Chain A
Amino acid sequence: MSLLRLELIRLFRTHRIWILAGIFGFFGFLGPLTARYLPEIVERFGGGVEIAVPPATPELAMAQYLGNALQLGLLGLVFVAGASLAFDAKPEMSIFLRTRASIGQIVAPRYIVNMAAAAGAFLAGSGIAFAVSALLIDTPRVFGSVIGSLLVALYLCFAVAVAGLIGGFVRSVPGTALVTLGALIVIGLIGLVPALAPWLPSELIGAFDALIAGGPFEYWRSVASTIVVSGAAIAGSIVVLRHREV
């Protein structure tokens, strides 16, 4: 058995893959569905109150998917990634691996599998949202949907890298997950500074809606910085874990 296979087994036998797939898949259906039937829902349950509802469009359907799925999906992802990457949480368990393989050998498959799971689950959810939107409303822009989804998938990979780095400092799984979530929120808040915003990974989330709405692709800076910072986070986690005592 290889360490890559170990991580794949972990993902399936602990049902973590189904948590991610379930969240993104569920909202993939729900986003277009609520966008299509929101006027009827408001009319039925509004209690006579006049509420202005935007018309059902493919852009709204995809935006509903992203808005709903990303909140819960990101929460699920930081716990899934934390459980895998904070591998010193149980020292007796980590001794088994640490005395048999290098830190790089241990963490590489964990990053690969968690990033693939996060990106795959999100892209599957996007695919579902695209298909349901096409069935119920209209077909969203293909280029914007594909590129926008890939950019959000890249952001989720960045979130996994941050979880790995935090896992090098924080031993417990809940601690790693919560600090990671806090770090991602802080990075998002830095985007309030206009000069920095184009460089931030969180800019990739906004790209989803903008590209589906037909906006131009102007995210090279955030793509580059996300890749660089993710790589640095992975390298940093290896250095930190190498120096940590068990």
Chain B
Amino acid sequence: MSDYAVTTTDLAKRYGPTIALAGVSLAVRRGSIYGLVGPNGAGKTTLLGVLAGLRKATEGAFAVDATRVGVLPDTPTFDPWLTAYEVVDLALALNGPQKGAAAVDSVLERVGLADVAERRVGGFSRGMLQRLGLAATVVGEPDVLLLDEPAAALDPAGRREVLDMVAALHGQATVVFSSHILDDVQQVCDTIGILDHGQLVYEGTLDDLVAGRRQAAEYRITVRGSAGHVADAIRSREWVDRVSVIDDVVVVTARSSDVLERELIPALAEIEVSIISVAPVRRSLEDIFLEVTQ
């Protein structure tokens, strides 16, 4: 058995003149939770559609090495005259292990729909439909789950529950999880792929992504007294790229965090100034994401 549950090689998808995917090659390690992030129109849904067999690739190849694949579209919709129980029961009957009513009850309980199990889904809110979609996807215990924005329509509490469910799958199933909510990706994914204009512009761990973007590092220095005096004293150092004063805080930029970690403190020690704090500027995943996709 391969180490990778999902692989694509130079996968391309065109709709007439529109390029949805432009040679995407990715590899999703078995048992991992892979976050597929990118701006709207980046090709996330198209890629998941191809992997699910719902769309045909124009070029390239892909492989999904699994006995059962669970797919959750971004706006799950069901026949409105079915009850929540019947939807999950049907999903289990079609491609899940035959485990009976207890499995259906259990998964509805996990997604918080046990109280409305016998209600027809026609009256469900979008959030409830998304929970129901997730229940119908996981009840079959698929080896690979392709989840398109599974928490997009949920309130904060619902999102937390869904993310916890996804996180709990780590090691048991392989999850490819698309989202434009970077905080969600940061919480549950161990590997991410960033799609932009149909191209995979980054693939790797979150730590590597953040570390790799530390080339231009920043530190904020708060001093008692004149911030301008400190800025002038540091600006002359050869390892400094830029120094600015923002609201009496000195912001020092260097080509790497290694240089700053090594040189900044000795440089400050040479200046006669009372230091209140010295702290690296932590760049959010959102900052990095914007940098990668622009």
Contact = CB atoms under 8 A, between A and B. Distances in A.
Interface string A68-101: 0000000000000000000000111101111111
For chain A, which range describes its interface: under 10, 10 to 19, 20 to 34, or 35 or more residues?
A: 20 to 34
A91 B95 CA distance: 20
B49 A1 contact: no
Nearest to A101: B94
B77 A13 contact: no
A36 to B, nearest CB: 41
Contacts of B95: 100-101
Interface stretch (A2-10, A194-202, A221-229): A2-10
B79 A245 contact: no
Interface of A is mostly: helix
A91 B71 CA distance: 13
Given A1-B89, A2-B93, A100-B95, A93 B77 contact: yes
B174 to A, nearest CB: 16
A245 B54 contact: yes
B53 A99 contact: yes
Contacts of B53: 98-99
B79 A99 contact: no
Interface in A183-215: none
A90 B77 contact: yes
Given A245-B56, A246-B49, A96 B91 contact: yes
Interface residues of B, number: 26
B61 to A, nearest CB: 18
B150 to A, nearest CB: 14
The residue among B78, B79, B82 with the most chain A CB atoms within 10 A of its own CB is B79
A6 B77 contact: no
B89 A95 contact: no
Contacts of B81: 9-10, 13-14
B55 A10 contact: no
B73 interface: yes
B94 A95 contact: no
Interface in B39-96: 49, 52-56, 69-71, 73, 75-79, 81-82, 86, 89-91, 93-95
A90 B77 CA distance: 8
Contacts of A95: 52, 54, 71, 73
A168 B140 CA distance: 28
Nearest to B146: A99
A239 to B, nearest CB: 15
Contacts of A98: 53-54
12 contacts: A3-B94, A6-B79, A9-B82, A9-B86, A13-B81, A92-B73, A96-B91, A96-B136, A97-B94, A98-B54, A99-B52, A245-B56
By Cβ-Cβ distance, the 8 closest A-B pairs, closest first, are A92-B77, A100-B94, A13-B81, A99-B71, A246-B54, A1-B90, A93-B77, A245-B55
